[in-house]
Structure 1
Amino acid sequence: MTNFFATEFATDFFNQYLSYLIEEDMEATVKFILRRDLENKKGEQPLMLVIHLASQRKVMSTGIKLIPDLWSADKQEIKDITAKQKSLLEKQFGETVPQKNTLLQYQDEILRLRNQVRQIEESFRLNETPYNLEMLVEKIKESKKPTIKKSEPTDLVFDFIDKYIEENELSRVKGSMVVYKSLKKHLKNFQDERRSSIRFEDIDYSFMQSFQNFLIKWKVVNPETGHVHTLYNISIAKQLSTLKTFLGYATFKGIKVNPGYKTFKIKREKLEVIALNQKEFDALYNIDLKKNKRLDQVRDIFLFSCVTGYRYYDLRQLRREHIKKDEIRLTTTKTKEPLVVPLTRISREILEKYEEMISPIPMISNQKLNKYVKELCELAKINDPVEIIRFKGAKRHATLHPKHELISAHTGRKTFVTLSLSKGIPAEVVMKITGHSDYKSFKRYVEVDEDRKRNAMSMAWD
């Protein structure tokens, strides 16, 4: 009897001990390693999850790719590098070095995978379910989240630009969406140079800085003429400003955008205001064009803009019904705002000259007007030299032009503003006529008129 109980006790003890050993052996070990044999052209290596269980081994992808310098094998974590170390890595690997917030996401993913293995094992134990490595891996695959890098479709930024253009093209002035098409082209070229997809989540301060440097270096050579086309700071600022506007719109539409771009400040340079002074306006008005009907009509179109402040597309939509007794009432094409412009002696003269026509003035295409008005101003001897200064990065470029070469259809509107101010019309009145709602953009006209400055000084001191 004693032998029976002794045998039973021994058997029970052995089974418990065996169960203990099995439980100890069933604890999986988790490790992360870089696959150095799978390094890509950017110098990145895939980070792999290695699970050991009961003498078996399984290697799984984490979806993360890292430069070896960013991984600590001993600590099993991503290195916390300093700004200086990051700068040195960027010199070697360029845009391949992830931003800090991306590295933090990677570290979170590593911790999540480690904890997930423990949670799945604990679930098996609580349910008293025997398991092996194959079952553990299957459970990981079932609950696997999309990898961080593929959280956003590759072409989402460019697809969204196309969508933005499509949604706004009909409601905006013809040609106003050209800048967005240009932005898309430059972003595509930038993406090709950096050899990695552009995503909304990547467009932070560092991205804006790198994109600006890319635009400064950008150039295209015309194979036929050999002319090198580059971008000056004014055009670069326009591209960066458009990108910021676009990112704000994307945020409004519910797309998750990296907010880091907002801290990037765009440096804006002043454009020269090309406008006629009173002497040049009078020369144009008094030139005899009886034998040149083409330029005579061009002069009337241009002078009408000079005395009303209308843009080309406002002049083009002008109809007889817009002209009242002493004023013109017209909703502008750009701002969609109704404006009232009082008629003056010269604007009345031009309207009376063409009163037999259906249209109030003999409009031509914008391209032809820009071409012919230069010819007209050269004939009127508007030839004073004008220095145009542009910057490309920190480099200064200065060119000298006879003034007639710089005059275009839009010069008429600028002339109206500068001459109105020089004649003593208050700035707020001129803004009301032209439809300027922002004094910031109007201010450059107030600063430009040197004659007005001299007259004011003369009246005050002499």
Structure 2
Amino acid sequence: MTIRFYLDKPNATCKTAIYLFIRAKKKTYKFNTGRSITPKFWDCKKQEVKSGHPSKAKLNQFLTNLKTDVFNAKEELVQKGATTLEEIKNTVAAIVAGKDLQETKVGFLEAYQLFLNAYKVSRSEATVKKYKTILSHLNKYSEQSNSDLSFNMMDIDFQERFVAYLIQTPKLTNNTIARHIKFLKTFLVWATERGYNSKADFKKFRQKEEKVDIITLTYEELITLHKLDLSTKPKLERVRDVFCFGCFTGQRFSDIAALQPEHIKENKWHLHSQKTKDIITVPLNEFALEILIKYTIHGQKLPSVSNQKTNKYLKELGELVGINEPITHVRYQGVKKIQCTLPKYKFIGTHTARRTFCTLSLEKGMQPEIAMKISGHKDYRTFQKYINLTSKVVDTSMQTVWCRN
């Protein structure tokens, strides 16, 4: 009896099933092992998973054990004198099914912890924190609903119940819930790829994200803040400088905090993005250079202040320079409308800088693809979320383009 492994679709570009083939008495039987792999990670000659696959050792061990168990079962059948094809077929089918059940005993919570451990290595601390938050919500939902978390429960009914819980108990907004569902799907994809989950209903999870108004500074507000004399308020001055540097470069707070003098060459910031791992070359305009030189001339780097303290000081700065236009912020919690009107400075945070750069760059005539290249955005739909073009700018653009020569 010959035992070999073959891929269902060896020329596919996506995952395809791994089949166990048995040749006995001039007849061939094939059995789905319950495992799949992208063909580029499969060694046809060796019939094993190549290096580079995240679960190489585990998957190869599974296949080796399966092959050994099938061979031993066949030997046992021979010794008993039961060697009909039907007996061999039924025995192998039972072994494959049993192996699949045995290998998938990793539970939902155990798999989630393995997922977090893997992400700690390749993702930022902030990203891992988001996934921990979702796990906390899942555990509390499990307690309240008196149900154990499992992969089998991950269907549309679960999504509806979980969303209802997030609205009613922690009272999250619809957009926050949409992001949680998106991150949950990321985990379930990860678990499915590693054989922990076999239920595909989660692919139907949908949670619409509602459009919200974003807060950006006008050019006048930004320049007023940039020029404000803060010599008697050194803490506020340092926060102001870092924030304005973000407004003039369009980069994330985490990347600005990691900026070192050696990253600047020929008035360009050669940045390795902490979040996306991309390499971005940021041309430094005169405003950004002015801030940078203020510190590097004394052999220092840009000041480092925690995100939480920065957000607090930014509101103080906004109030100080009179950024107090009334802003109405609308969010939804299920069908409930949550609306509040506050001075603009109350909404200013570290992320306002990146949004301000994108908006002002387009207002000043920079082509969107250039602004995206500088800010590091790859997807225009994502980039659009950072743009806050006022009706005044749109009207002016219309009159400028459609004017009589």
TM-score, normalised via structure 2 length: 0.71
Show structure 1 runs of 4+ deviating over 4 A: 149-153
- Note if contact 1:156-1:199 (Cα within 8 Å) is conserved in structure 2: yes
Aligned residue number for residue 173 of structure 1:
124
Structure 2 SS opposite 1:169: helix
> Out of 154, 172, 189, which is 1:203 matched to?
154
The residue type equivalent to 1:366 in the other structure is N
**Matched residue type, 2:337:** R
Relative to structure 1, the CA distance from residue 393 to residue 324 in structure 2 (aligned partners, 3 Å threshold; closer, same or farther) is: same
Quick one: distance in 2 between partners of 1:161 and 1:449?
Answer: 43
Taking the aligned partners of 1:157 and 1:284, their CA distance within structure 2 comes to: 50
Corresponding residue for residue 90 of structure 1? none
Q: Aligned ranges for residues 346-385 of structure 1 at < 5 Å? A: 346-385=287-326
Distance 1:322 1:363 in 2: 16
Say if 1:318 and 1:359, in contact at 8 Å, map to a contact too. no
> Is 1:408 aligned with 2:349?
yes
Matched residue, 2:23: none
Q: Is the 8 A contact 1:161 1:180 kept in 2?
A: no
Tell me by how many angstroms 1:299 deviates: 1.5
Q: Secondary structure of 1:354's match?
A: helix
| 1:448 shift after superposition | 3.7
- Counterpart contact for 2:111–2:196, Cα < 8 Å: no
Correspondence for 1:188 among 120, 123, 139: 139
Alpha-carbon distance in structure 1 between the residues aligned to 2:195 and 2:104: 13
- Runs of 5+ unmatched residues, structure 2: 1-94
* Secondary structure, aligned partner of 2:296: coil
Residue deviations 1:12-55, cap 9 Å, x none?
A: xxxxxxxxxxxxxxxxxxxxxxxxxxxxxxxxxxxxxxxxxxxx
Contact 1:152 1:199 in 2 (8 A): no
Q: Distance in 2 between matches of 1:172 and 1:290?
A: 38
Identity of paired residues, percent?
A: 36
In the other structure, the counterpart of 1:309 is 250
Which residue number corresponds to residue 86 of structure 1?
none
Alignment of 1:47-66 (within 5 A): none
Cα pair distance change 1:193/1:363, threshold 3 Å: closer
Question: Offset of 1:150 from its aligned partner?
Answer: 11
Q: CA–CA distance in 2 between the matches of 1:330 and 1:152?
A: 42
Offset at residue 322 of structure 1 (A): 0.8
Alpha-carbon separation, structure 1, partners of 2:104 and 2:277: 37
Deviation at 1:248, TM superposition (A): 0.7
2:222 equivalent to 1:281: yes
Q: SS of 1:445's equivalent? A: coil
Partner secondary structure for residue 152 of structure 2: helix
Cα separation, 1, equivalents of 2:102 and 2:147: 12
Equivalent-residue separation in structure 2 for 1:351 and 1:435 (angstroms): 21
Q: Which amino acid counterpart does residue 157 of structure 1 have in structure 2?
A: F
TM-score, normalised relative to structure 1: 0.63
1:461 CA displacement: 4.5
Deviations 1:333-375 (A, max 9, x none): 1111111111111111112211233333222222221111111
Pairwise CA RMSD: 2.3
In the alignment, is the contact (CA less than 8 A) between 2:354 and 2:386 conserved in 1?
no
CA distance in 1, matches of 2:277, 2:207: 28
SS at match of 2:211: coil
Mind listing any 5+ residue stretches in structure 1 that lack a counterpart?
1-142, 220-229
Of 246-255 and 351-360, the range deviating more from structure 2: 351-360
> Structure 2: how far apart are the matches of 1:192 and 1:204?
19
1:206-253 per-residue CA deviation (whole Å, 9 max, x = no partner) reads 21122111211113xxxxxxxxxx211111111111111111111111
Q: Which has the higher contact order (CA 8 A, sep 6+)?
A: 2
Query: Is contact 2:213–2:329 with CA below 8 Å preserved after alignment?
Result: yes
Q: Residues of 2 paired with 1:406 and 1:257: CA distance? A: 44
C-alpha separation in 1, matches of 2:329 and 2:124: 28
Structure number with greater Rg is: 1
Corresponding residue for 2:371? 430
Q: For the residues of structure 2 that align with 1:269 and 1:183, how far apart are their CA atoms?
A: 20
Aligned pairs for 1:228-239 (under 5 A) are 230-239=171-180
Q: State the Cα distance separating 1:256 from its structure 2 match.
A: 3.0
Count of residues paired in the alignment: 306
Please say if residues 372 and 378 of structure 2, whose CA atoms lie closer than 8 Å, have aligned partners that are also in contact: yes
Match of 1:160 among 111, 116, 130: 111
